[in-house]
Every structure is written in C-alpha cells, then in structure tokens.
Chains A and B, each alone.
Chain A
Amino acid sequence: MIKITAQTKTLIFIGTGGVGKTTLAASMGVGFASQGKKVLVLTIDPSKRLAQALGIQMDGDPHKVFLGKNNSGGELWACVVNHQKTFEYFIRHAASQFSEGKKVSEEKLAQLLDNKLYHQLSGRLSGSQEFTSLITLNRYVTSGEYDLVILDTPPSQHTWNFLRAPEKISALFNEGIAKWFREADGVSTSLLKKIVNIGTSQVLKALELLTGSQFIKELSAFFQAIQKWQRPLEEYILNCHRLLISAQTEFVLVTALDPSRLIEAQKLSREIRTQGYKLTTVVINRVPAWLSTKISTDSPRVQNLISYYQGLENDLQERLTQFKNQLKVYKCYELRQNTEDVASLQKNFDELVSLN
C-alpha cells in the first residue's frame, strides 16, 4: 500500500502533463485529513469540477475545505497558486527581512513593482510558474501551520523545469549579474574599476546591439531596484532548494500506461535519485481494471481495443522489473474522474492506500 513516512511534511507530485497528478494530490489530501492531519493541498490549475468539489477559490489564499462528517480532528485546506501575488509576497517578504522590523520603504518597493521587466517576469510570461509554486510551497511549509503540505507541480514538459527553478531564478538575484548593471550607467569612477569593467562593458555593448538601449535601461533599473534586498531574496531561494532536498520532503512520480511515458519516467526517476531528492514511490496511473479479466467478444472493435491495452500491459511488465529495483511501483486503476465531491476523493484515497 502507498504510505508516506511519519516525518514527511511535504509531498510533491511530479510527472508529465495529463497523468492525473491533480486528482491524486487532491485524493491524498482528503485521505490524510480524514486520518487526523491538518493538510494543505497546493495546486496550479484545478479543473472546474475539482475546484467545485473542494470549494476552491482562485484568490491565491488557503481556504478550508468542508469535509462532511469527520471526527478525526483533521482539516483539509486548499490553495491555488497565484502567480502575481506570490511574486509580490516574495519581494515584500525579502524586503521586510532586510529592514528587520523597520517599515519597508514603499517607494523603493514601488520602483521594483512598477518595473516593466518585473511585470513581465511576474505576469504574462512563462517560465516562472515553477518558481512561484515553489515559493508558495516553502511559505506554507515553513509557516508550521500544517502537518502536511501536498504540492501538485505545474504541467511542465519536464520535471527538471521545476527542480531547477531555484537555480535558474537565483541567477537573476545573483550578486555578479546585478553589479554589472548597476555599474553600467557609469556610476563607478575608480580607474581600476574602469579597467576591470572593460570586459563587462564590451558584453553590455553586445547585448545592446542585440536588444537596444531601452531594454538595457529597463534591465539596469530592475537590478538597481532589487539591489537592496538581494541577499534576503537569494537566501529565500536557497531555502526553497533546501526544502526540496530535505529528508522531510517526499516525491511521488506519477506516470501513465504508455511506453514513451514509462521510458521518460524511468529516466527521470534515475536522475532525480542521483541528485539527492527523495523519490520513493511511482504510481502508474489509469491502468484499466478490466485488463485482469478474460474477455470474450465478437466485436472486432472491442477486440482491437483489448489487444491494444494488452500490448501496453505486456510492455509494462517488461519494464517493471527494472523499475522495481529501487522504487515502490504501484499500478493504479482508473480512478473516479467525476470527482464532484469529497466522498469520491476519499474513495480514491482508500483505493490508493490498498494498492499493492
């Protein structure tokens, strides 16, 4: 049966899109809450149905889910990650850390929050969704308010985008890069510094040739704005990374009954383990339950379908031995897709924990 260790405080569902991570995460949330834990489920893009089932609100704050009759003392909370709000939280949090209780200068904050590039970073453009879900995760895990926080990772092509988010984004707040732009507009005066900066200014010239001076201006404005809070911002990102590799964080890899998905999952599980993340469980989701029974039919179409799934099952069996070497692998039958209420999520959970 699927279980997590008692010390686990964070459970992260990873896997490619369309494998049912969100439903699994929600089911686990309902299940652990019914066992008496105070659980928070973080998700990015819940289906309308699931949002209705859990009474999820899209305002980016955790809301308590009504669990019906529940004598365990557990609670379920759900939160949809809000990109823009999270970014602002991140900046404000770092700013307040820095000022150590003193009032944060709203003017300085506004400078950054109004920067055009900041707008793009926190707004319409892609790539930082992974980062904001990680910040949200770190925020609620460290708040200590929950026994367990479950994260349903964004539907990215590859889980690496998520795991590398801290590394990638920290480059933005990296001392070296910021220095570059702060000194780009000729503030620095010492001769020695000027000589050292020749290389840098060449690079900036190249960048300017490619992008134009307005872009450079915006960039340096951006870096000047974050200069003050750079250390705490960097520290926060580092903490996010620490959370991912913490012994109290467990990963669950979700995949589907499909050869190419399984190959991807195999590769991923190998890599992720060598990088030091704690991956113990693999769920092969949505395996048709009727495969295990013998079916007789006259219909060539049904025959075709059965033999297709039989082929998938045989392929899976061949791969399972390699998988099972180091990981616990569970075959999960098609769960109720119509998750319109908490009761069906609870049933999903009961089925999940009874898997072999």
Chain B
Amino acid sequence: MVKKAHFITGKGGVGKSLISAVLARYLSQYEQNRKDKILLAELNEHSFFQDYLNLKRISYKPINWVSGVDISQWSPQECLKEYALHLLKVETLYKLFFENPVSRSLIQVAPGLEELALLGKVTSSPRSHGPAMSYDQLVIDSFATGHFLSLFRAPAAMAEAIQFGPMGEQSRGIDQWIRNPEFTHLHIVTLAEELPITEAIELYQTLKSEFGLVAHIYLNKMTGLTKSDLEKLKPDVAEVMTALIENEKMAVKKLMDAKIKFIELPLINSLESNTLINELALVLENKKVRP
C-alpha cells in the first residue's frame, strides 16, 4: 500500500534525476521506517537511470536497484494499459482496444489522458482503484517546471471538462489525492544561479497557492567558497570564483527573502554515480531531513 508519493521537479539541468535517486536511497536506508519498500519511477521517454546506474533494461516492470529500492520507467501508455486491463478484465476486449493502431494514436493525443494515466497510477493505492502496488513510498523523477505544472493541473481541468461518468469521477479522485499533503510530497531541485532560483521560487509559490502543498527545496551543487578561499588565485580565476560566491549568496538571500526553507547540498567531487548518491544521502541524514 503506497502511503506517500514524492515528486521531484525543477528547471531542466538542475539535477532532478540524481536527487530522485538520492531521495529513494535515503528513504530506504536512513529513515526511521527503514523497512519501507521504495519504488523509484522515472517518467522519461528514454530511461535515464539505465545508463546512469548501469542497470540492465529498465522498463515498466520494476527491477531491483539497491536493497529496498526498485526502479521502473512509467510511460502513460503502459499505465493506461495496466489500468484498462484491470478494469475491462476481458483480455480480448482489451486487445481489440489497445492493439488497434487507431486507438493507440487516440490515446497519445487525447488531451489530458496521458496525465491522468500517470497520476492515476500514482494515486491508485489510496483511491483503492486499479491494480495494487506493493510499495510503501513512491519517488517519482518528474518533469521540469512547466510540464510538471500541466501534469498537476490536468485532473482538475479534466474534471471540469468532463463532469459526468467514470472519467469525471476518476479525475476528481486523483485531484483530491494529489492535493493531500499527507500523501503528496513535492521536492524542487535548484541551483545557485539566477534562472533556476527564480523559477524554483515561482514554482514553490504557485504550488502552495494552487494546490496547498509546501515543497521541499534543495539548493544543489553548493561550493561553499568564501572570499578567503580566493587569496593567491590569479585575477581571472578569482573573478570567476567571485561570481560563483556572489551567486550562492544571491540564491540564499532570495530564498530567505521569500521565507522559504531549503536544504543545501554540497558539490560532491566525483563523477561516479553511486559515490555521488551515497554521499548526498548521507548529507540528508546528517541534516535530519524528514520528507
């Protein structure tokens, strides 16, 4: 039974996928509920984790990554297929529907259907609707800011457009659960640069006012440099690093001015994915982050 769903979002290129993996690892390793089974789900069309974590083929069917964490890749089509099979129960009817090229393309373009399929899958446990999932928490490596907002707005928009019938009913149910702060946990990743920071703050405020959800913010890749570190450096290098320091100060100030709590994550000097993930998970533990 899924008790919590964590969504990771932020501007493109801030490290959403990495932080998703870190969070999944952290939740399985350090949280008090250590026995929890975690599913890390990516919504990418082409799997990111397969190469990044050096795993065998990642697909819709979860595969094990580390102890307590499985990984799968969710496409809207597969989510819908699974749900339809569950609901229609008749294999032939389902085949007729899904193996028909026309309906396949219909599913792809029917507005809102893909979003509903994804969020329907996420909220299937608490809604007791659809096939059961044997995980306690979901960590979803989601879309970047704009696309993420459309994803979250889809159920309400659909419920408004289609008020009657199963579709309207489902849309309302999904909308209710993604607004439930006990169930839905949002994580915004950002960098100490102007564009990502501005975008993160706007997204935080939008999510708060529109959905009543308070997101966790992660300020990624902080160097923690200070002026004193720059002594003896050649002027051109010092200039670049001064800009870095200024950016980090700016980011912290902007977040504090907006009265937003955030978690600083240090720049880890490694390109090896498992080292990165383990060290960052340790940082979350030391900071006693309780998502």
Contacts and interface: CB of A to CB of B under 8 A. Distances in A.
A207 B270 CA distance: 50
B114 A127 contact: yes
B92 to A, nearest CB: 9
Given A177-B106, A209-B87, A125 B162 contact: no
Name the interface size band of chain B. Answer: 35 or more
B240 A290 contact: yes
Contact of A125 (B84, B115, B169): B115
A304 B96 CA distance: 59
Interface string B224-254: 1110111111101100110000000000000
Given A160-B46, A214-B163, A297 B114 contact: no
Interface in B132-157: 143-144, 146-147, 150-151, 153-154, 157
Given A157-B143, A295-B234, A308-B267, 20 more contacts: A18-B13, A47-B194, A117-B161, A120-B161, A125-B112, A125-B150, A126-B154, A156-B147, A172-B105, A176-B102, A203-B96, A210-B166, A211-B167, A214-B167, A260-B51, A260-B52, A293-B236, A295-B233, A302-B241, A305-B267
Contacts of B97: 203, 206-207
Name the interface size band of chain A. Answer: 35 or more
Contact of B45 (A160, A202, A218, A308): A160
A259 B168 contact: no
13 contacts: A17-B11, A47-B198, A123-B157, A155-B11, A155-B147, A158-B46, A207-B97, A210-B88, A210-B166, A218-B161, A293-B234, A299-B225, A337-B194
A168 B108 contact: yes
Contacts of A125: 111-112, 115, 150, 153-154, 157
A214 B165 contact: yes
Contact of A119 (B161, B169, B234): B161
B192 interface: no
B103 interface: yes
Contacts of B194: 47, 49, 337
B12 A17 contact: yes
Interface string A16-27: 111100000000
B262 interface: no
Give the dominant DSSP class at B's interface. Answer: helix
Contact of B168 (A158, A210, A212, A290): A212
Contact of B93 (A202, A260, A293): A202
Interface of B: 11-14, 17, 43-46, 48, 51-52, 83-84, 87-88, 93-94, 96-97, 100, 102-103, 105-106, 108-112, 114-115, 143-144, 146-147, 150-151, 153-154, 157-158, 161-169, 193-196, 198, 223-226, 228-234, 236-237, 240-241, 267, 269-271
Nearest to A298: B232
Contact of B165 (A157, A161, A212): A212
B106 A161 contact: no
A157 B109 contact: no
A307 B45 contact: no
A211 B196 CA distance: 38
A288 interface: yes
Contact of A260 (B48, B109, B115): B48
Contacts of A127: 111, 114, 150
A71 B231 CA distance: 46
A171 interface: yes
B236 A290 contact: yes
Contact of A212 (B162, B195, B224): B162
A124 interface: yes
B29 to A, nearest CB: 23
A45 B267 CA distance: 28
A305 B110 contact: no
A264 B52 CA distance: 10
Interface of A: 16-19, 45, 47-49, 116-117, 119-121, 123-129, 155-158, 160-161, 168-169, 171-172, 174, 176-177, 180, 199, 202-203, 206-207, 209-215, 218-219, 256, 259-261, 263-264, 267, 288-290, 293, 295-299, 301-302, 304-305, 307-308, 311-312, 315, 334, 337
B177 to A, nearest CB: 19
A47 B237 CA distance: 27
Contact of A45 (B114, B146, B161, B271): B146
A335 to B, nearest CB: 13
A158 B86 CA distance: 31
Contacts of A312: 271
Nearest to A295: B237
Which of B11, B12, B196, B234 is most buried by chain A, counting CB atoms within 10 A of its CB?
B12
B162 A214 contact: yes
Given A16-B13, A19-B13, A259 B162 contact: no
B110 A301 contact: no
Contacts of A121: 109, 111
A311 B269 CA distance: 8
A215 B11 contact: no
In order of increasing CB-CB distance, the 10 nearest A-B pairs are A17-B12, A212-B165, A18-B13, A171-B105, A126-B150, A299-B229, A120-B111, A18-B12, A211-B167, A116-B161
Contacts of B153: 124-125
Contacts of A202: 93, 96
B11 A177 contact: no
Given A296-B232, A301-B229, A120 B108 contact: no
Contact of A305 (B44, B96, B154, B225): B225
B162 A211 contact: yes
Contacts of A298: 231-232
B21 to A, nearest CB: 11
A157 B195 contact: no
Contacts of A49: 194
